[in-house]
Amino acid sequence: MLDIKFIRENPDVVKKAIKDKGVELDLDGLLELEARKRKLTTELESLKYKKNLLSEEIAKMMMGEKAGAKDLVSDAKALSQKVAEIKQKVEEIEPKLANLLLNVPNICHKSIPVGAGAKANKVVRSWGKLPKPNFKLRNHLELAEHLGILDFNRAAKISGSNFVLFMGQGARLERGLYNFMLDLHTKKHGYTEVFPPFLVNRASMIGTGQLPKLEEDMYRLKDDDLFLIPTAEVPVTNIHRNEILKEEELPKRYTAYTACFRREAGSYGKETRGLTRVHQFDKVELVKFVARENSFDELESLVQDAEEVLQLLEIPYRVVVLCTGEISFSGSKCYDLEAWAPGDKVWLEVSSCSNFTDFQARRANIRYRSSKDGNLSFVHTLNGSGIALARTVIALLENHQKPDGSVAIPGALQPYMDGQTELKALNP
């Protein structure tokens, strides 16, 4: 959420953000409504002040039994009625204005490219050599069938389309991957591990910006008004909702494994086959609460933490800074990590690392107290996938496949697979 004072004083900046992000919002209408509320509020406070003075005068006259008290009582009743009328108008405006403010996007950082689609994104660096094997590569579906590690048909029987059932070595691989990531981020990168609820309330979803904009894409339990989390960003960021932190506590770093749930699985076709886009997937998330002065430096280090996962898994990738039209509603600056999938010959997003500045913190009311002057400021929140499955599984299978259809397990992952060095076909 943006500060209403900032919006009022910088309407052109906000209008540009609305346009650049492709959001439909009448900012002039919002500002007119906010101006009307301020005018009514000023009038209301003035009438309340007059009413209080009149009440004091009536009390003095009544004690002295002076004439004219009845006339003043009549005036006081008229003022009370006017106060009630204006108060009602203000109360009618407040929820409308609050909803409009929730739909104002965050301001894009000046360093990101301006553009409407993915073609405007900019590759800032890449890592690893793209494989050039002397045998025909299989895609992840062909490898999964050969290895017997995925069963989409039974997953569909259990839950429906775009769900996945990991079997045997596949289930072990999935577990090994997120345990490997959690150990890396806690033991080397200094994050505190948490294991949050997978269901969150509406206030939590509003706090991180998923609501009201993306409600249709979420799984919701209507009877309880709870939502299955689309990412661990939601519960972990809300750990400190309505709290005041000490500046010396910052930065706070958390990592969490969760399953993630999203109703929208994209259009059906080649680009959404198999593990590419599913309704439920596993992910290790990284969340930071930092002081406003160094949040963009913290974003760079967050990206590096996520990159190390791909480096240790020996998966070629590239880092892409998103343009204004591709960045999220809440984001100010975002890098995507895209892993190379040679079997499908595509780059797959496996991590998005974002700085939300104080946008989420205003919505969730997360502040910190300065150690110098005791003043309160909103923290800056950051988060990134560290990293997301199941697309990482696609990249791992396709990059480490052998001519016989077996898949080598990277050395960093082998301790999490009981020393197993490769995934072998059940029936070669």
Q: How many CA atoms lie within 13 A of 8 on its CB side?
A: 10
Catalytic residue among 142, 247, 314, 349: 349
- 3 state SS of 123: strand
277 an active-site residue? yes
Burial of 11 from C-beta contacts in 10 A (0-12 / 13-18 / 19+)? middle
Give me the architecture of the 4-102 domain, per CATH. Answer: Orthogonal Bundle (1.10)
pLDDT for the residue numbered 65: 57
Q: Give the residue among 251, 238, 331 at the shortest CA–CA distance from 290.
A: 251
Which phi and psi angles does 17 have, rounded to 5°? -65, -40
**CA gap 376, 288 in Å, rounded:** 18
175 an active-site residue? no
Mean pLDDT estimate for the chain: 94
Q: Are 390 and 293 in contact (CB under 8 A)?
A: no
pLDDT for the residue numbered 269: 45
Class of domain 118-423: alpha beta
pLDDT for the residue numbered 267: 45
Q: How confident is the model at residue 60 (pLDDT cuts 50, 70, 90)?
A: confident
Q: Which residue has the higher pLDDT, 426 or 266?
A: 426
- For 248-293, write each residue's pLDDT tens digit: 999 999 999 999 999 975 544 445 678 998 999 999 999 999 999 9
349 an active-site residue? yes
- For 235-249, write each residue's pLDDT tens digit: 999 999 999 999 999
Q: How far apart are the first and last CA of the chain?
A: 56
* Two structure tokens written together for 116: 């409407």
- pTM of the full predicted structure? 0.92
Q: Are 270 and 218 in contact (CB under 8 A)?
A: no
Which phi and psi angles does 192 have, rounded to 5°? -95, 125
- For 332-382, write each residue's pLDDT tens digit: 999 999 999 999 999 999 999 999 999 999 999 999 999 999 999 999 999
**CA gap 412, 400 in Å, rounded:** 13
8 an active-site residue? no
Q: Is the pLDDT at 191 greater than 50, yes or no?
A: yes
391 an active-site residue? yes
3-state secondary structure 298-352: HHHHHHHHHHHHHHHCCCCEEEEECCCCCCCCCCCEEEEEEEEECCCCEEEEEEE
Q: What is the DSSP letter of 133?
A: -
Catalytic residue among 352, 354, 385, 406: 352
Q: How confident is the model at residue 190 (pLDDT cuts 50, 70, 90)?
A: very high
Q: Which residue has the higher pLDDT, 332 or 66?
A: 332
- For 76-133, write each residue's pLDDT tens digit: 888 889 999 999 999 999 999 999 999 999 999 999 999 999 999 999 999 999 988 9
Q: Is the pLDDT at 170 greater than 60, yes or no?
A: yes
For 382, other C-beta atoms within 10 Å of its C-beta total: 30
Catalytic residue among 277, 362, 363, 367: 277
What percent of the chain is modeled with pLDDT above 70? Answer: 96
Task: Give mean pLDDT, residues 27-46.
Answer: 96
Catalytic residue among 262, 362, 363, 367: 262
Catalytic residue among 307, 326, 391, 406: 391
Which phi and psi angles does 365 have, rounded to 5°? 55, 60
Domain boundaries, the chain: 4-102, 118-423
